[in-house]
Amino acid sequence: MKNINEINIKSFRGIRNLRLTDLAQVNIIAGNNNCGKTSVLEIIESLRQPDDILMWSSLSRRTTTSMRNRMSFYEGIYDLFDINIEDKRLEYTFKTEDDIVTLWADAVESVEEITEKRYEAISGLSYIEKENREELEDQTREIARIEFKVALNGKAILKEKIYEGQMNASVYPRPLRRQKSLTQNIVYISPTRHASGEVFLGEVLNRPDLYEEMLSILKEFDENILSINYDKNNFGRGTYKILSKSNNKALPLNVYGDGMKKAILLMSAVVKANDGILLLDEFETAIHTSAMERTFKWILETCKKLNVQVFMTSHSIEAISKVLKCCPDMEKDIRMITLVETLNGIKARNVDATKAIKLKEQYGLELR
Amino acid sequence: MKTMIFCEGTTDLLMIQYVLQYKYGWHYNGFLENAETNRLRKKTLKRDTDIVDIESCGGIMNIPKRMQELQEQIQNTTREEELVNKVIILIDHDTVSSNREFLDKINEKIGTYFLEEDINVLRKWAVDNDFLESTELDIYIKCLPESEVGAIESIMLQALDTDSIESKIIQDSRQFIETEAENQDRYLQKKSLVSKAIVNTYFAIRMPEEKYDERARILKAYNWEENEVLNDSFAFLNI
């Protein structure tokens, strides 16, 4: 996959007419809260499978375990559009050396009359009592809906109706054939994903050279670490365990601290994103300052080796400084993008690593 | 409000610092020196929420380059609190044509059109910036002495000339240095260097054990705050 060198965002959530040019192998995105950092990552992630409604559902920030408090699928999709504008349209374009990809999505609002039975199915809630079922399930109600349409380079690839109160996105059929966009290998790592213990070690264990390098870096966290192994139990389930001279037996990854889990997640995500795109949201979360330099250095060098384009957001000036300086040979491959809210919308200050270091150290300017 | 003051050398920097502190009530807030040469580069003063950085550029011809860097800094500023609101440049009056040459260099570096009539007058300098509403700075290019050829040391000598003893030492120092300058063509070929040599000769007599950069202390021996010569010449520092 050729690197994305430009993103033109006409409209997405609160971002209007933002142009990100001269993008590089590694792109650090910073800025005040609510300036659109995560939105930029979501835009890139939408390239993964834009013809799949479940992909759009995953962008809609509905992550909470409580069903009671969770935003509906309808609200999540609705909020992808600029709430200040009546005309609901998303539009953005990606450019690589060889390709231009334009994605747009419309949401046309209307009202539909549907049966209670249908509403129960799409809302994901069972609320019609058993004794009244026959009587009530054919009754109808008027419900707001949006007709959500997506087009890739002008060609319609998705068209679905989404109803107000709809919690359930799995009622839609999955696309039979994957729509070709720039790449499907896009790996997104949220700030807290490491807490679940999820990693992509399967990819790493197939690469002995990278596995060995990773172990060497993990010694910053546990100097006695010997190996990481996949342990399958009698019930067909498996778990990754770490063998270390610090303990009498191998321990599951889950019992280790957040820093170790985050480092393993980040490093394994690089390998998983081979020849694709890696999106790291608040990449420095949970990693101790003493381990940052070696971990980031490995990530950047391996991204270059595996042709992975990285977009990473951060609030931490310490982490940003470490990334800018950890690989002097790669200074031209790193861009520092600061999103700034201005009277005319969100704008980007975009400089290479050398200039970013100069702005910070010589001029005393804030990079975040 | 943030002000940058660019001057040619350490003497100018110390003089400006002294006037700001003891005449205009600014407080010293730190310095920056070159890690390799230990040359004093910058001093920072504060007054309430205002900040002034006084930077010694190591020669008049380094000032245009610093202005170009300041321009780059302002072009990349994204926050109001980082903005520089005013820039003051203090230069000596080396020769009759030195101001013109200096302005040509500044204009070349930062794309402006300053003329000689813009010296010693408050002007505006607009700098492109995509992020902030207004990036137009006040700019004041101060040449000392204003009308005659000389250096900031000329002003200092006028100010030091407070009684007959000081007057004689200054006069004798001047005579010695000017005679040396006239009788050879290797040293002291600029008027400003002659002025500096006269001041250094005066100080060599006045305080022979003191180091060059401790000279500011002697200024405290007099009520410089009430000195008419200094007050007139440095009124532009009433920021």
CA distance A40 to A21: 13
Give which of B131, B134, B135 to mutate to test A binding, by max A Cβ within 10 Å: B131
What pLDDT is stored for residue A10 in this prediction? Answer: 95
What pLDDT is stored for residue B23 in this prediction? Answer: 85
Contact call for A362 and B76, based on CB within 8 A: no
Q: What is the pLDDT of residues A342-355, one digit of tens each?
A: 988 899 999 999 99
Average pLDDT, chain A: 87
Q: What is the pLDDT of residues B205-225, one digit of tens each?
A: 877 765 555 555 555 555 667
Distance from CA of B73 to the nearest CA of A (A): 6
C-alpha gyration radius of chain B: 19
What pLDDT is stored for residue A181 in this prediction? Answer: 66
Query: Residue B132: its chain A contacts at CB < 8 A?
Result: 342
Contact call for A349 and B76, based on CB within 8 A: yes
Query: Residue A18: its chain B contacts at CB < 8 A?
Result: none
Query: Residue B131: its chain A contacts at CB < 8 A?
Result: 340, 342, 347, 349
Cβ neighbours for B7, distance < 8 A, ≥ 6 positions apart: B13, B16, B54, B55, B56, B57, B89, B90, B91
Read off the pLDDT band of A104 (50, 70, 90): very high
Higher confidence at residue A138 or residue A313? A313
Across the interface, of A342, A351, A365, the residue whose CB is closest to B77 is A365
Percentage of residues of chain A with pLDDT beyond 70:
90
Range from A271-285, A354-368, B90-104 carrying the lowest mean pLDDT: B90-104
Give which of A20, A340, A341 to mutate to test B binding, by max B Cβ within 10 Å: A340
What pLDDT is stored for residue B107 in this prediction? Answer: 95
Whether the CB-CB separation of A124 and A166 falls below 8 Å is answered with yes
pTM greater than 0.90 (yes/no): no
Give which of A342, A343, A344, A351 to mutate to test B binding, by max B Cβ within 10 Å: A342
Average pLDDT, chain B: 86
Higher confidence at residue A178 or residue A359? A359
Q: Which residue of A has its CA nearest to B75?
A: A349
Q: What is the pLDDT of residues A82-97, one digit of tens each?
A: 888 888 999 999 999 9
Distance from CA of B87 to the nearest CA of A (A): 15
Q: Does B128 touch chain A (CB under 8 A)?
A: no
Across the interface, of A349, A359, A362, the residue whose CB is closest to B131 is A349
Q: Does B211 touch chain A (CB under 8 A)?
A: no
Q: What is the pLDDT of residues A273-321, one digit of tens each?
A: 999 999 999 988 887 887 888 889 999 999 999 999 999 999 999 999 9
What pLDDT is stored for residue B223 in this prediction? Answer: 64
Q: Which residue of A has its CA nearest to B82?
A: A365
What pLDDT is stored for residue B224 in this prediction? Answer: 66
Query: Residue B69: its chain A contacts at CB < 8 A?
Result: 362-363
CA distance A26 to A330: 9
Checking if the pLDDT of B124 tops 60, the result is yes
What pLDDT is stored for residue A128 in this prediction? Answer: 57
Task: Characterise A104 by phi-psi region: left (phi > 0), alpha (psi -120 to 50), beta (else).
Answer: beta
Q: Which residue of B has its CA nearest to A356?
A: B76
How many CB contacts within 8 angstroms connect chain A with chain B? Answer: 30
Distance from CA of B215 to the nearest CA of A (A): 29
Peptide bond into B145 cis (omega under 30): yes
CA distance B95 to B221: 33
Checking if the pLDDT of B228 tops 90, the result is no
Tell me the mean pLDDT in the region B93-101: 78
For chain A, the residues whose C-beta falls within 8 A of a C-beta of chain B are 338, 340, 342-343, 347, 349, 351, 359, 362-366
What pLDDT is stored for residue B6 in this prediction? Answer: 96
Instruction: Give, rounded to a whole angstrom, the gap between the first and last alpha carbons of chain B.
Output: 10
Read off the pLDDT band of B190 (50, 70, 90): confident
Read off the pLDDT band of A140 (50, 70, 90): confident
Read off the pLDDT band of A12 (50, 70, 90): very high
Query: Residue A347: its chain B contacts at CB < 8 A?
Result: 130-131
What pLDDT is stored for residue B214 in this prediction? Answer: 55
Tell me the mean pLDDT in the region B21-46: 87
| ipTM > 0.90 for the complex | no
**How far is residue A201 CA from its own chain's centroid?**
19
Checking if the pLDDT of B151 tops 90, the result is no
User: CA dist B191 to B92, B96, B169, Å?
Assistant: 10, 10, 20
Task: List B residues 51-80 in contact with A (Cβ-Cβ < 8 A).
Answer: 69, 72-73, 76-79
Contact call for B76 and A340, based on CB within 8 A: no
